[in-house]
Structure 1
Amino acid sequence: MKPSRTMIAAGLVAMGLSASVLAQDQKLRLITWADYVPADVVAQFKKETGIDVEITLSNNEEMISKLRATGGAGFDLAQPSQDRITGPQQEFALYKPMDLTKIKSELFLPSMLDATKKNTTLAGKVYGLPHIWGTDGLVVNTKLAKMGDYPDLCKSDVKGKTAVRLKRPTLLAFAFAAGKDPFALYKDPKAYGALMDEVGKTMIACKSNVKFYWDNKDQLLNGMRAGEIVGAMMWDTGGWKLNNEKSEIQFIAPKSGALGWIDTFAIPAKGRNDAAAYAWINFNMRPEIAAKVAGSAGNFTASKGADQLMDAKLKAQFASSFPESALKNVKWYPAVPAGIEEIEGRVLDRIKAAN
């Protein structure tokens, strides 16, 4: 019996669907930060698994915005910071719970894995695993200025020669420098708002010291290289990069504490390829792979043993910037509750608009 046209059409549709599913299985759609996905790591992953990696570069705000707009669709794996998971998850349900049976937990530093699981747990379910970590502090040209804490960016002798980001980390840093603990007020929006208002007044008074509010790293790095900026609130590896070029530029852990962040692995709610996502996570946490990623990002990772494979100069710079007392004083970002960023946003808008 000859097949009918209907049967042929159905067969062709089925073949098309099978091809589509197969193509889907062979691609990982990753939204992540710059420098977290070196080309040689992508090539090795493709060689070992047959899976292509489609990369979209982003940041915390954009990740939340993109996933919120699609209800958690469009990507198979995302890399938000650990403090940006439970709040958006509670409000917008952007992620799936992690299936911890598919993770090779022995590849992670136990303390960092446990801490991140705790900070990304909502209603008993874990939504994030640790990957890259680092800190924000002060980067200072020690030949041109002396600084030990964030308020030193506002001293009269460095007027017009400093830079910060007009973002929430700057508000938090100045709050800690004022002797307050903003994280302890996360559950008291009224008290948190009052503290942010005070920090906002400090930042407005400091505005004449700011050469520019930096938006991209090249702008800031080039300003430091040229001597146009003598001190800035900056990420640690930016300072170490500049230190490689000019020894007088140093990253300093502020007296009130550097701010510590952890960027994670999280699986979007409507991701299509969880298998590829888990394969990528386990692949990236292998020490030899993690060391390559760390070399590209310039930061340390949560991979157990990867630090032993990292660049000796970077390890020495880390040890210089973070004696034991400074490392113990790092203020690690906890999860951000819903509504907190709206309070900060209003304060940041006032600072921006002030003359």
Structure 2
Amino acid sequence: MQRRALPLVCASLLAARLQPAAAAPAVLRVLAWPGYAEPEVVQAFEQQHGAHVELTLIDTDEALWQKLSQREGADFDVLALNTVELRRAQQAGLLRALEPARIPALGRQLPRFQRRSSIPGLELKQGGRTELYGVPYTYAEMGLIYDRRRLPEAPTSINVLWEPRWRGKVLAYNGGSHNFTLAAQTLGLPAPFRLQAGDWPRAVERLIALRRNVLGFYSQPEESVRLFQRHGAALMFANYGTQQLQLLRQAGANVGYAIPREGALAWLDCWALTRQCRETALAHAWIDHVLGDQASQLLVQRQGLANTVSESIGSPGAAKLVWLEPVEDVARRETLWARIRSGDRAERVLSP
């Protein structure tokens, strides 16, 4: 019996069903801060790798930690976090080790960032070998911003914030963790991130003295610019470094920037892989991509931040940067700072 031929339309439909469906593009889930993955950077990556980037932005360490710890990081492949949070995530088992051979751009980084053992938190020794967990991406040193009209010469010491002649003309950051480290630094304590029992009274007294000298405290960069201009500040401890400097200059302020001789506290944000990363090859490719010229230059131009592949104008040099480390007791620092800000005397600040 002769088999009848299928109509052309039916045959075409059948053939289409038998063809394998086109594979959907891989999705890379990125968790980052604003400005770390600009639209054109994402677009270039997607075009080069035929993938889709699903970008989630955060604006505080608390928000970052909440998203990372939820479902043990299963919602993300790659993220940007500072060295303190990097170590916290390591200890919680939320990260996986990187494969440096998959990131050729590591060789483009400045020498001080290639000396990874000198930056706490980037590497971890396990089973007799050293594994890399974080790739430096951007940083900012916490220097001093000053009004050039009142200070013709750049201040040379962090102690200028305490000088009586600037009483009521100083802006400081509203954060207990950093401020206790700053106080310890001015006191010459050997371990500013790990205060000992006998260090607390001296640090508290030092911060009470700072409170008496300041006109106000700020939390965000934009807020600091408004306060600086509205109240005619002469000096500011720049928790956000050159980012604040750029904002002030854009607002028309005649300000300078200085790194004190004691060294500047500095935060360093790094790229890392989550333990449950689904797209390992793509995640390594992302880190390699953002170490390129496009993303690195946009960090400087748009965010006023430094990158790790080229020297920024006026870069302080590695010897004067003190990378942030985990502190001995965040909760205690913040509790005592709240008491200091409220105007309590030293004995009341330190009372149980």
TM-score normalised by L of structure 2: 0.77
Q: Which residue of 2 aligns with 1:160?
A: 168
Q: What is the distance in 2 between the residues matched to 1:195 and 1:330?
A: 24
Q: Contact conserved, 2:263 with 2:322, CA < 8 A, in 1?
A: no
Q: What is the distance in 2 between the residues matched to 1:33 and 1:219?
A: 18
**SS at the partner of 1:182?**
coil
Q: Which residue of 2 aligns with 1:93?
A: 93
The letter for the 2-side match of 1:73 is A
Q: Which residue of 1 aligns with 2:187?
A: 178
Q: Contact conserved, 1:31 with 1:58, CA < 8 A, in 2?
A: no
Q: Which residue of 2 aligns with 1:311?
A: none
Q: Which residue of 1 aligns with 2:236?
A: 232
Q: What is the distance in 2 between the residues matched to 1:164 and 1:272?
A: 43
Q: Contact conserved, 2:58 with 2:64, CA < 8 A, in 1?
A: no
Once the 2 structures are TM-superposed, how far is the Cα of residue 130 of structure 1 from its aligned partner? 0.8
Q: Contact conserved, 1:72 with 1:93, CA < 8 A, in 2?
A: no
- 1:99-114 equivalence runs, <5 A: 99-104=99-104, 105-114=106-115
Q: Which residue of 2 aligns with 1:216?
A: 220
- 1:335-350 equivalence runs, <5 A: 335-336=325-326, 339-350=328-339
**SS at the partner of 1:267?**
strand
Higher gyration radius (CA): 2
Q: Contact conserved, 2:116 with 2:123, CA < 8 A, in 1?
A: no
The letter for the 2-side match of 1:32 is A
C-alpha distance after superposition, 1:298-324 (max 9, x if no partner):
222122xx45xxxxxx62xx16xx4xx
Once the 2 structures are TM-superposed, how far is the Cα of residue 127 of structure 1 from its aligned partner? 1.3
Q: What is the distance in 2 between the residues matched to 1:72 and 1:196?
A: 36
- 1:187-266 equivalence runs, <5 A: 191=196, 193-234=197-238, 235-243=241-249, 246=252, 248-266=254-272
**SS at the partner of 1:250?**
strand
Q: Contact conserved, 1:116 with 1:130, CA < 8 A, in 2?
A: no
Q: Which residue of 2 aligns with 1:14?
A: none
Q: Which residue of 1 aligns with 2:14?
A: none
Q: What is the distance in 2 between the residues matched to 1:261 and 1:37?
A: 19
The letter for the 2-side match of 1:125 is E
Q: What is the distance in 1 between the residues matched to 2:211 and 2:118?
A: 39
Once the 2 structures are TM-superposed, how far is the Cα of residue 279 of structure 1 from its aligned partner? 1.7
Q: Residues 75 and 228 of structure 1: is their aligned pair in 2 closer, same or farther, counting only changes over 3 Å?
A: farther
Q: Contact conserved, 1:176 with 1:256, CA < 8 A, in 2?
A: yes
Q: Contact conserved, 2:95 with 2:272, CA < 8 A, in 1?
A: yes
Once the 2 structures are TM-superposed, how far is the Cα of residue 196 of structure 1 from its aligned partner? 4.2
Q: Which residue of 2 aligns with 1:297?
A: 303
Structure 1 gaps of 5+ residues are 1-17, 308-313
Q: Residues 328 and 111 of structure 1: is their aligned pair in 2 closer, same or farther, counting only changes over 3 Å?
A: closer
Once the 2 structures are TM-superposed, how far is the Cα of residue 240 of structure 1 from its aligned partner? 4.3
Figure out how many residues of one structure are paired with residues of the other and give that number: 313
Q: What is the distance in 1 between the residues matched to 2:308 and 2:182?
A: 24
**SS at the partner of 1:283?**
helix
Q: Which residue of 2 aligns with 1:333?
A: 323
Q: Which residue of 2 aligns with 1:77?
A: 78
What is the RMSD computed on CA atoms of the aligned residues? 3.0
Aligned partner of 1:136 among 142, 154, 158: 142
- 1:273-288 equivalence runs, <5 A: 273-288=279-294
Q: Which residue of 2 aligns with 1:121?
A: 123
Once the 2 structures are TM-superposed, how far is the Cα of residue 135 of structure 1 from its aligned partner? 0.6
Q: Contact conserved, 1:240 with 1:251, CA < 8 A, in 2?
A: no
The letter for the 1-side match of 2:235 is G
**SS at the partner of 2:289?**
helix
Q: What is the distance in 2 between the residues matched to 1:348 and 1:272?
A: 42
Q: Which residue of 1 aligns with 2:3?
A: none
The letter for the 1-side match of 2:274 is P
Q: What is the distance in 1 between the residues matched to 2:171 and 2:301?
A: 26
**SS at the partner of 1:180?**
coil
**SS at the partner of 1:85?**
helix
Q: What is the distance in 2 between the residues matched to 1:137 and 1:161?
A: 17
Bigger share in helix: 1
C-alpha distance after superposition, 1:115-152 (max 9, x if no partner):
26863222333211111122111111132358443332
